[in-house]
Amino acid sequence: MLYDIKLLMHYDYALPVGGGRHHLRVLPLNLDGAQRVVASSLSVSPSPAERSDFTDFFGNAVTAVAFRDAHDSFETRMTARVSVSRPEPDFDVSPPLTVLGGELARTWSLDRASPHHFTASSDHASLATDITAYARESLAPARSVAALAMDLCLRIHRDFDYDGDATTVATTAGEAFSLKRGVCQDFSHVMIAGLRGLGVPAAYVSGFLRTIPPPGKPRLEGADAMHAWVRVWCGREAGWQEFDPTNGMRAGSDHITVGHGRDYSDVAPIVGVLKITGAQAGDQSVDVVALE
């Protein structure tokens, strides 16, 4: 599937900002066998005094910008054309949980895709006894790790309510679990914390998801949004597989990856510091268009 993607992030400041530095992680990735970036661009306004582009430890594309002059707004625009062809799930060759630990111990790599980076507590996905107990309910005799992850994915989709007003970007897995509500970021963090509590490596995925309007309704430009889902290490043979607890499904060709990390803090679309007094307000719009 071929997509054209547009992202606009805009911030207004009550008083002029004296300076600032930001890291942007919004450009889609090239992923062997799953995703190819045909073309992409990222622009920033006002024009920054410094700009550099680099790849972080996890392989995510990062644009660093710095401002020295006063400004009362900040805007970034990203456009990309991306081809996505995620393979359909094949025969399940992932081991049961009782075997996964041994396979993990025999995995010596510490490169960016190593499962060892995704087993411990992280800022947004701390290990917690109540979340681990909830995840343990998805265990069954001889159930594979992939089947365990799919069952947990479906249970979160069933047991949690989508509520955009219930949480913020700072909400942790524990807080979202207590609320039993939130957004894609929260559901992903709960699933990650639950799997890690059982000894299953799990990573956070940031990206875009094409949404399809209800029958008879027009597609609204800019109505899409950035999305989050979960990457699960299912053993040495099965490797990494991806699950979307917000929608109760495996990630498919409508999921367009921007970055991988331990949790949201590794792949936030924008992070930085400002010299500011007063309030600020921001908005974001995303457009994902499938090309026939």
Query: Among 274, 272, 279, 273, which residue's Cα sits nearest to residue 15?
Result: 279
Q: How many helices (H) and strands (E) does the chain have?
A: 6, 15
Q: What pairs with residue 13 in β-bridges?
A: 280
Domain 97-260 has CATH 3.10.620.30: yes
Domain boundaries, the chain: 2-85+269-291, 97-260
Q: Using an 8 Å Cβ cutoff, are 253 and 2 in contact?
A: no
For the stretch 231-271, pLDDT in tens is: 999 999 999 999 999 999 999 999 999 999 999 999 999 99
CATH class of residue range 2-85+269-291: mainly beta
Over 50: is that where the pLDDT of 221 sits? no
Other C-beta atoms closer than 10 Å to the C-beta of 82 total 24
Q: What pairs with residue 287 in β-bridges?
A: 6
Which of the four pLDDT bands, split at 50, 70 and 90, describes residue 214? low
Q: Using an 8 Å Cβ cutoff, are 227 and 184 in contact?
A: yes
Q: What pairs with residue 80 in β-bridges?
A: 5, 40
For the stretch 109-151, pLDDT in tens is: 999 999 999 999 999 999 999 999 999 999 988 799 999 999 9
Which residues, 6 or more positions from 168, have their beta carbon under 8 angstroms from its beta carbon?
A: none
Burial of 186 (0-12, 13-18, 19+ CB in 10 A): buried
Q: What is the pLDDT of residue 276?
A: 84
Q: What is the pLDDT of residue 215?
A: 67
Q: Using an 8 Å Cβ cutoff, are 144 and 94 in contact?
A: yes
Query: Among 268, 255, 130, which residue's Cα sits nearest to residue 190?
Result: 130
Q: Work out the percent of the chain whose per-residue pLDDT is above 70.
A: 96
Over 60: is that where the pLDDT of 27 sits? yes
